[in-house]
């Protein structure tokens, strides 16, 4: 076939790949994004079950108030005006259900300190210092990428002194220095679920960046994760870029590079044999998947050794439920629920990722998100949508199945048992919900591998331990000339972190600064409304919600379906 010519081909349409494509297309490049799934978005995509929308990888996003990092990112990419976010319950965007205790984490540092110091009066002094330290270290991390020039180099040690002092310590150790109450330690560390590492293994700076990202509250996109994807793909197409779905990449094309023994990327070959040529290639896949397309025989011994040692983040079970009941009356709101037993968080993670998945009748720990309360426009007036996540051990899951990819009888029965276990647990948290489930679907590590192509079904890219973050992480520039990477394994994970990685990679390709690609535009503001308080909703939003409820069919729905 006659090859097509592009400036840049991007493999994978996750948040990083799409943000890179926007930046490059706006710079005048001819760009093509290639996605193996039938819809773009990677972990940000949304899907529908019986008319109800679910977003497997987008449960909340932080730093979306005016002037904050995620808001600046979307406005700078030119998609701010196309996005609407709902502010989750500011009095408790995180609900910590630890054993028999229920403790809320409110938005803003001041309210968080006030709430927790009232509950733990003996910890006031240490809590105040710890929350201040979290913000200082996070700001110093962000400062590093903006430093350039003589005086920045001279002053960098002083201006990042807190990062330097605590950078090599674990989260568990630093928390222990400041806070002694075991229950408060668990509350402060509850967001470990957002990176998947227990306190003893988590890098303190990593957790600082994550906790600071949400310190002013959580936000949920109107339209779910798919709304972000739609805004980004529309921006790419508006600039003349292409987004091709349902096209799987077989390999990255190489030719001898400028230096002896080096290779250069020249394009890709699709599974159907078609070849697409480009000046450079960016991979939004994880490192193992990316270099698998290059071919291990074409890699240096040093890189092969690094790949062999690379650890990937946790994998998960994700449950998607439709229920017909008044979930607010049952105790739910737009805030997340983090359920865990009252024991050491390290022990919780060890149990989750090591024991037999079917060893008990209930899951010890769950993350629960009611997306129809987070996005009022998705509620049809009768049925709510709930997403529930728990971490599991990848090998323990795979050992239960001989050939899960065949979706054989054993796999179906296994999923049914897991669904029963989830219902048992959820019925204790939301009394009576068992009798009101309309539909229940389960996503497993096999699902993650099939739709996302994530190595070992990982949900956060590479594991963010001490020796896989910062200077030890994978670089956007690879050892293959004209081959770059972006995504959750390069700079930071999560929607915002992955999106910024795309900007970073695009800047490297264009040989400019990241700030050159994020243009301040006052006319492109992101709109934010309260999910639980309709007093500030504009008329168009009220009308949209009313029309959604009006379209609701009056026919009765079947009770409890567990699809194959």
Residue pair 178/129 in contact by the 8 Å Cβ criterion: yes
Decide: residue 277, CB within 10 A, 0-12 exposed, 13-18 middle, 19+ buried: middle
Residue pair 427/313 in contact by the 8 Å Cβ criterion: no
The shares of helix, strand and coil residues in the chain, as percent rounded to the nearest 5, are: 45, 20, 35
* Helical ranges in 58-216 per DSSP H: 69-76, 109-119, 124-144, 150-159, 161-166, 171-178, 182-188, 204-214
Cα–Cα distances (Å) from 8 to 24, 259, 265, in that order, read 8, 22, 11
Q: How far, in Å, CA of 219 to CA of 336, rounded?
A: 11
Please list the pLDDT of the chain residue by residue as tens digits (564 residues): 455 689 999 999 999 999 999 999 999 999 999 999 999 999 999 999 999 999 999 999 999 999 999 999 999 999 999 999 999 999 999 999 999 999 999 999 999 999 999 999 999 999 999 999 999 988 877 766 665 554 445 455 556 677 767 778 899 999 999 999 999 999 999 999 999 999 999 989 989 999 999 999 999 999 999 999 999 999 999 999 999 999 999 999 999 998 887 999 999 999 999 999 999 999 999 999 999 999 999 999 999 999 999 999 999 999 999 999 999 999 999 999 999 999 999 998 888 877 678 888 899 999 999 999 999 999 999 999 999 999 998 988 887 765 545 455 677 888 899 999 999 999 999 999 999 999 999 999 999 999 999 999 999 999 988 888 877 889 999 999 999 999 999 988 999 999 999 999 999 999 999 999 998 888 899 999 999 999 999 999 999 999 998 887 544 444 444 333
The whole-number pLDDT of residue 451 equals 93
Adjacent-strand bridge partners of 86: 220, 529
Q: How far, in Å, CA of 492 to CA of 105, rounded?
A: 24
The whole-number pLDDT of residue 556 equals 43
Q: What is the pLDDT of residues 476-529, one digit of tens each?
A: 999 999 999 999 999 889 999 999 999 999 999 999 999 999 988 888 999 999
Nearest Cα residue to 347 out of 493, 189, 178: 189
């Amino acid at each position: 076939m006659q090859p097509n010519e592009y400036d840049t081909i991007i493999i994978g349409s996750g948040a990083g790949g799409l943000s890179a494509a926007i930046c490059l297309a706006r710079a005048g490049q001819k760009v093509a994004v290639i996605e193996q799934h039938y819809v773009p978005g990677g972990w940000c995509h949304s899907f529908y079950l019986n008319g109800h929308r679910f977003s497997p990888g987008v449960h909340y996003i932080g730093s979306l108030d005016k002037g904050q990092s995620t808001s600046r990112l979307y406005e700078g990419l030119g998609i701010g005006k196309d996005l609407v976010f709902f502010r989750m319950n500011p009095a408790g965007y995180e609900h910590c259900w630890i054993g028999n205790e229920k403790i809320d984490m409110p938005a803003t540092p001041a309210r968080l300190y006030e709430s927790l110091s009232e509950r733990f009066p003996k910890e006031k002094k240490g809590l105040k210092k710890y929350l201040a330290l979290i913000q200082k270290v996070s700001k110093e991390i962000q400062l590093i990428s903006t430093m350039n020039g003589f005086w920045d180099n001279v002053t960098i040690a002083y201006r990042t002194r807190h990062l330097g002092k605590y950078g090599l310590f674990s989260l568990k150790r630093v928390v222990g220095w400041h806070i002694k109450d075991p229950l408060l330690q668990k509350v402060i560390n509850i967001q470990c679920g957002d990176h998947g590492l227990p306190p003893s293994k988590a890098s303190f700076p990593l957790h600082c960046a994550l906790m600071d990202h949400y310190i002013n509250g959580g936000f949920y996109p109107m339209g779910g994760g798919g709304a972000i994807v739609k805004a980004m793909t529309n921006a790419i197409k508006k600039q003349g870029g292409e987004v091709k779905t349902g096209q799987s990449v077989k390999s990255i094309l190489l030719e001898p590079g400028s230096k002896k023994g080096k290779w250069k990327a020249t394009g890709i070959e699709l599974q159907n044999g078609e070849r697409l040529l480009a000046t450079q290639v960016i991979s939004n896949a994880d490192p193992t998947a990316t270099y698998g397309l290059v071919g291990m025989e074409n890699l240096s011994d040093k890189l092969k050794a690094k790949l062999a040692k690379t650890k990937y983040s946790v994998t998960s079970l994700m449950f998607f439920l439709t229920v017909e009941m008044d979930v607010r009356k049952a105790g739910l709101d737009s805030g997340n629920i983090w359920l865990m037993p009252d024991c050491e968080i390290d022990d919780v993670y060890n149990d989750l990722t090591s024991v037999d998945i079917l060893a008990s009748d209930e899951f010890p720990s769950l993350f629960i998100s009611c997306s129809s309360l987070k996005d009022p426009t998705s509620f049809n007036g009768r049925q709510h949508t709930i997403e529930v996540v728990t971490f599991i051990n990848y090998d323990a899951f795979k050992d239960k199945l001989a050939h899960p990819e065949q979706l054989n009888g054993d796999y179906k029965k296994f999923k049914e048992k897991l669904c029963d276990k989830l219902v048992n647990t959820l019925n204790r948290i939301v009394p009576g919900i068992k009798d009101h489930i309309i539909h229940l679907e389960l996503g497993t590590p096999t699902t993650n591998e099939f739709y996302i192509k994530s190595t070992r079904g990982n949900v956060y890219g590479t594991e963010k331990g001490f020796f896989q973050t910062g200077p030890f992480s994978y670089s956007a520039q690879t050892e293959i000339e004209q081959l770059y990477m972006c995504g959750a394994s390069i700079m930071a994970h999560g929607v915002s972190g992955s999106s910024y990685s795309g900007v970073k990679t695009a800047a490297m390709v264009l040989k400019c600064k990241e700030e050159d690609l994020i243009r301040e535009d006052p006319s492109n503001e992101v709109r934010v409304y309260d999910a639980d308080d309709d007093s500030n909703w504009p008329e168009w939003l009220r009308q949209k919600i009313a029309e959604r409820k009006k379209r609701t069919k009056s026919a009765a729905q079947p009770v409890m379906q567990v699809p194959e």
